[in-house]
């Protein structure tokens, strides 16, 4: 990918579709645009069907003899179990409102990345097998035979969708391509056709408790290392607790933040915050090594696998006897928690309805899942003046905020992160309206596509996001992109490096703890990244929230 | 490429010929005026009900609304009660705006890749506007036609006629709804042919209903303004249908039977086509559920039993290492 300059990459993007119709345009699986096939060991760990070595570039995918039958049966079964699937197969009028809403279409110009066509890849088979019109009229009714080429096309394009749901916002019938992609991937998984970047994290998470496969002793080591780092920059020693029975709150966050920069600074941020709350208010938050993953790549595999991974959250909360669960900054984790967890693994009647013991705030909106988002939690603390903050410590930053797809369109968390940022940073600038909040653009690497071998796909798909960042960089000198998603923190740095150099990426809780005045801290001269802290000047954070340009709602 | 619209166009022309020849040359007024419309209506009603029933038979295992506004959260943060509805009332408003005003389509933008590169997103209101015009004019035309099936004609329908014809151009007065219907349908058709992206994913099944509706509108307009159909005869026929005393009055031109035949085909085709979005829009699970999934548990009727890796198994795998790292364990070595 390094050999293709941004200009060259964009020059290849052309919104004019090819002369041949999509059914007659064969799909060529191209390097850089796909992730490697799932390793048999990972598929077998979960006991999923047909683990084997196979290569997407080979003609022979080593499919079982009766693969067609398996797919058709799988479709039938899912049509009966999911009303979404049935309705989304039947009612699309192909108005095209979704067509240019997809970041992968905008970035690649490949018409099969138009959400409508992505869905038609599946619908054409549905019509052929399950509708009278399709059976009688065939192609005229938009039906086609299920062939090996069709299956390969499915695989290629259902792993070129990041399930971000942006198209669904614009669809007059609410047709959700994420749901269609999820069905497509469930079907592909019936034949063992997962990608390794999903299958192996899933297997790791199942066995060791997190996607990265970090074993318990290593997990403790890593957090200890962070504690050393924190001590170096702040002079304060934090003492995280692990698997502690009887703690007030169980904390769960993506292991990606324990593993790689700049997520590690966010992880340090959590540790400092919990230390602060322990010292000041006696709040006892514990981490778990068994439940050391907030993310859930099962969501990208099948609903059953999602359930098998998610079940650990409640199981561990129950075993430790905590009051409720606090969840870290993560995107698809919060889609799973908001829209699936309680249904799948609830009711969590062994937990208490979450109350912030420091402020007394009842989190009414989470009274059934018993799981609170840390940004909601921190926003509540700040609102009640429970955190001593000095936002001028972030004055070297001009911050913009990237709404991550899932907290945006699967939850609706928009104002809480902005409130927190504006209270810990003095310089905040919004990207243009069509690129934020419910219309936010995906990082281009969501839904398990954040591997390295598909970098061209990621950089193409990330173009709309990067372009909006570039806009505020040029207009306001923005140099920091804040986000509340661990995948974002892993993938936005290379994306920015490619399209918008000089813009760095941060989690919100890194910003919070930069500004947080920790009891007993040494005079801070550097932040967690070891960068110089600018000189203090007086600034009222509330002023920023009430400013007329606050695009809050 | 053009087979996508040539086939449907030919099909509509063929339908015209079938009805025209059937009535003019063969004298099948009974077939086209009474039997086919009845059968079409039955097909429509039964087909529609069966299709909706079929959808409803499949459960909604997960509540997966698309949240398009601020969630209900802390008391001092103002939630968007319509685009992220926490309550049933909010859902009703959201659905009403969706169904009556095409709210999601209203958001539509067009993406442009410019030099730089910069990408711009421009508000695209035409599709929304013409879709709305199309559906409402169609509805008005439909309601106006009730006058053929009611005797006496209710005053509300007469008022509607007055409103629809308020321009008072020509004799008989021009009904705006008919003109708008034709214009909007033409827009939707041309859009599919002219915009290369839209043409690319359009199917024959997208062109056929448009040609058919245009044919319906044209034949209706022909009757009203040009061939001046025998309106008394038509009313006699339609009243005969609703009172189940069907009979064919003399002197109604063939164009009437063509018009009725087109409508019959549309009705019969409806339940088997994308036109079912009329029913589907009410049932779309990303719009019609409350966004309160963290406060109220949604039940999945087939919630599967799954194999899990328990904490006990995990501890068995790592006990020694956990003890070494000072982690508490349930069972000592």
Task: Give pLDDT tens digits for A346-403.
Answer: 999 999 999 999 999 999 999 999 999 999 999 999 999 999 999 999 999 999 999 9
B271 in the same domain as B146? yes
Tally of structural domains, chain B:
2
Q: What is the band of A553 on the pLDDT scale with cuts at 50, 70, 90?
A: very low
B315 in the same domain as B171? no
Contact B121 A434 (CB under 8 A): yes
Task: Name residues 490-549 of chain A within 8 A of B (Cβ).
Answer: none
B310 in the same domain as B203? no
B236 in the same domain as B317? no
B293 in the same domain as B308? no
Nearest C-alpha in A relative to B11? A140
Tell me, yes or no, if A308 comes closer than 8 A to chain B by beta carbon. Answer: yes
B122 in the same domain as B51? yes
The phi, psi pair for A276, rounded to 5°, reads -60, -45
> What pLDDT, in 10s, does the model give residues A268-283?
999 999 999 999 999 9
pLDDT for res A545 = 55
The end-to-end CA distance of chain B, in Å, is: 72
B307 in the same domain as B215? no
Structure token digits, residue B223: 């009757």
Q: Domain ranges in chain A?
A: 12-30+49-193, 200-383, 391-546
Tell me, yes or no, if A418 comes closer than 8 A to chain B by beta carbon. Answer: no
> What pLDDT, in 10s, does the model give residues B84-143?
999 999 999 999 999 999 999 999 999 998 887 889 999 999 999 999 999 999 999 999
Architecture of domain A12-30+49-193: Orthogonal Bundle (1.10)
User: B111 contacts in A (CB within 8 Å)?
Assistant: 100-101, 106
- Calpha distance A101→A119 (Å, rounded): 14
Q: Which of B55, B279, B327 sits opposite A243 (nearest CB)?
A: B327
Strands A241-242 and A285-287: parallel
The arithmetic mean of pLDDT across residues B273-300, rounded, is 96
> Which of these, B318, B322, B64, B306, lies nearest to A309 by C-alpha position?
B306
Q: What angle do CA A197, A198, A200 make, to 5 degrees?
A: 75
B190 in the same domain as B321? no
**What one-character-per-residue DSSP string does A342-371 give?**
HHHH---TTSPPPB-TTT--B-GGGTTT-E
Count of C-beta atoms within a 10 Å radius of residue B79: 22
pLDDT for res B151 = 85
**What one-character-per-residue DSSP string does B48-63 give?**
HHHHHHHHHHS---S-
pLDDT for res B169 = 78
Contact A361 B68 (CB under 8 A): no
| Region for A34 from its dihedrals, namely left if φ exceeds 0, alpha if ψ lies in -120 to 50, beta otherwise | beta
Q: What's the domain range around B270?
A: 3-302
CB-based contacts of A509: which residues, under 8 Å, 6+ apart? Answer: A266, A269, A270, A273, A328, A329, A374, A378
Q: Which of B58, B86, B274 sits opposite A83 (nearest CB)?
A: B58
User: A347 contacts in B (CB within 8 Å)?
Assistant: 297
Q: What angle do CA A420, A498, A261 make, to 5 degrees?
A: 50
Structure token digits, residue A58: 């080979």
CB-based contacts of A237: which residues, under 8 Å, 6+ apart? Answer: A227, A230, A231
B317 in the same domain as B225? no
Residue A484 burial by Cβ neighbours in a 10 Å radius (0-12, 13-18, 19+): buried
The reply to whether omega before B152 is within 30° of 0 (cis) is yes
The reply to whether omega before A447 is within 30° of 0 (cis) is no
> Which of these, B170, B173, B187, B102, lies nearest to B144 by C-alpha position?
B173
B191 in the same domain as B149? yes
Within chain B, strands assigned E span 109-114, 118-123
The arithmetic mean of pLDDT across residues A62-72, rounded, is 98
B309 in the same domain as B170? no
The arithmetic mean of pLDDT across residues B8-23, rounded, is 96
B313 in the same domain as B251? no
């Amino acid at each position: 990918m390094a050999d293709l300059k941004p200009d060259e990459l964009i020059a290849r993007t052309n919104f004019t579709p090819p002369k041949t119709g999509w059914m007659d345009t064969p799909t060529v699986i191209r390097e850089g645009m796909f992730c490697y096939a799932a390793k048999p060991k990972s598929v077998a760990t979960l006991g999923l069907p047909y683990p084997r070595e196979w290569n997407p570039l080979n003609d022979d995918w080593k499919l079982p003899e009766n693969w067609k039958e398996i797919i058709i049966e799988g479709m039938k079964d899912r049509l009966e179990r999911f009303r979404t699937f049935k309705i989304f197969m039947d009612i699309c009028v192909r108005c095209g409102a979704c067509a240019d809403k997809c970041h992968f279409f905008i970035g690649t110009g490949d018409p099969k990345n138009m959400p409508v066509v992505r869905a038609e890849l599946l619908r054409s088979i549905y019509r052929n097998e399950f509708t009278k019109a399709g059976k009688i009229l065939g192609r005229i009714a938009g039906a086609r035979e299920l062939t090996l080429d069709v299956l390969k096309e499915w695989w290629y394009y259902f792993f070129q969708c990041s399930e971000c749901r942006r198209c669904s916002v614009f669809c007059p019938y609410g047709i959700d391509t994420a749901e269609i992609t999820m069905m497509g991937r469930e079907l592909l998984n019936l034949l063992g056709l997962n990608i390794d970047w999903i299958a192996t994290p899933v297997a790791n998470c199942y066995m060791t408790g997190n996607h990265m496969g970090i074993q318990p002793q290593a997990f403790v080591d890593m957090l200890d290392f962070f504690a050393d780092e924190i001590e170096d920059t702040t002079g304060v020693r934090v003492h995280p607790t692990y698997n502690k029975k009887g703690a007030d709150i169980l904390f769960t966050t993506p292991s990606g933040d324990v593993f790689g920069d700049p997520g590690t600074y966010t992880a340090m941020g959590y540790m400092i915050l919990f230390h602060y709350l322990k010292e000041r208010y006696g709040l006892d938050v514990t981490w778990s090594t068994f439940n050391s993953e907030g993310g859930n790549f099962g969501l990208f595999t099948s609903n059953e696998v999602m359930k098998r991974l998610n079940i650990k959250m409640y199981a561990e909360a129950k075993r430790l006897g905590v009051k409720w669960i606090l969840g870290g900054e993560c995107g698809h984790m919060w889609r799973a928690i908001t829209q699936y967890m309680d249904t799948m693994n609830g009711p969590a009647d062994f937990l208490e309805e979450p109350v912030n013991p420091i402020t007394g705030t009842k989190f009414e909106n989470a009274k059934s899942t018993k799981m609170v988002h840390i940004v909601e939690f921190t926003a509540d603390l700040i609102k009640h003046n429970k955190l001593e903050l000095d936002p001028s410590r972030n004055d070297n930053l001009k911050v913009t905020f990237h709404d991550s797809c899932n907290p945006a369109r699967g939850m609706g968390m928009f104002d809480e992160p902005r409130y927190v940022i504006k209270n810990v940073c003095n310089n905040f600038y919004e990207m243009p309206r069509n690129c934020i909040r419910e219309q936010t653009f995906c990082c281009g690497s969501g839904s398990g596509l954040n591997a390295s071998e598909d970098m061209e796909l990621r950089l193409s798909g990330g173009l709309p996001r990067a372009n909006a960042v570039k806009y505020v960089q040029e207009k306001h000198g923005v140099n920091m992109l804040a986000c509340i998603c661990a995948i974002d923190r892993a993938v936005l740095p290379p994306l920015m490096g490619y399209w918008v150099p000089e813009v760095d990426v941060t989690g919100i809780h890194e910003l919070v703890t930069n500004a947080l005045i920790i009891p007993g801290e040494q005079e801070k001269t550097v932040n967690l990244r070891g960068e110089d802290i600018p000189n203090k000047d007086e600034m009222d954070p509330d002023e920023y929230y009430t400013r007329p340009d606050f695009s809050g709602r | 490429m053009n087979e996508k619209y040539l086939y449907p166009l030919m099909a509509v022309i063929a339908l015209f010929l079938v009805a025209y020849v059937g009535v003019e040359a063969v004298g099948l007024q009974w077939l086209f005026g009474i039997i086919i419309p009845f059968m079409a209506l039955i097909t429509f009603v039964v087909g529609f009900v069966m299709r909706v029933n079929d959808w409803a038979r499949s459960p909604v295992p997960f509540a997966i609304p698309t949240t398009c506004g601020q969630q209900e959260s802390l008391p001092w943060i103002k939630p968007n009660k319509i685009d992220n509805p926490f309550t049933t009332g909010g859902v009703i408003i959201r659905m009403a705006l969706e169904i009556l005003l095409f709210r999601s389509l209203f958001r539509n933008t067009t993406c442009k890749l410019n030099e730089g590169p910069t990408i711009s997103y421009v508000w695209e209101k035409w599709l929304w506007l013409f879709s709305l015009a199309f559906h409402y004019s169609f509805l008005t035309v439909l309601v106006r036609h009730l006058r053929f099936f009611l005797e006496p004609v209710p005053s509300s329908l007469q008022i509607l006629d007055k409103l629809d014809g308020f321009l008072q151009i020509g004799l008989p007065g021009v009904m705006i709804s008919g003109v708008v219907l034709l214009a909007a349908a033409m827009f939707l058709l041309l859009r599919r042919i002219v915009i290369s992206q839209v043409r690319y994913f359009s199917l024959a099944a997208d062109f056929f209903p448009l040609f058919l509706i245009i044919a319906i509108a044209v034949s209706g307009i022909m009757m009203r303004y040009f061939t001046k159909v025998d309106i008394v005869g038509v009313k006699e026929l339609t009243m005969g249908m609703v009172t189940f005393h069907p009979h064919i009055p003399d002197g109604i031109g063939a164009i009437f039977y063509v018009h009725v035949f087109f409508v019959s085909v549309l009705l019969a085709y409806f339940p088997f086509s994308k036109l079912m979005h009329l029913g589907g829009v009410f049932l779309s699970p990303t719009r019609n559920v409350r966004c309160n999934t963290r406060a109220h548990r949604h039940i999945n009727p087939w919630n599967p039993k799954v194999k899990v890796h328990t904490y006990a198994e995990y501890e068995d795998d790592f006990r020694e290492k956990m003890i070494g790292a000072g982690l508490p364990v349930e069972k000592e070595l």
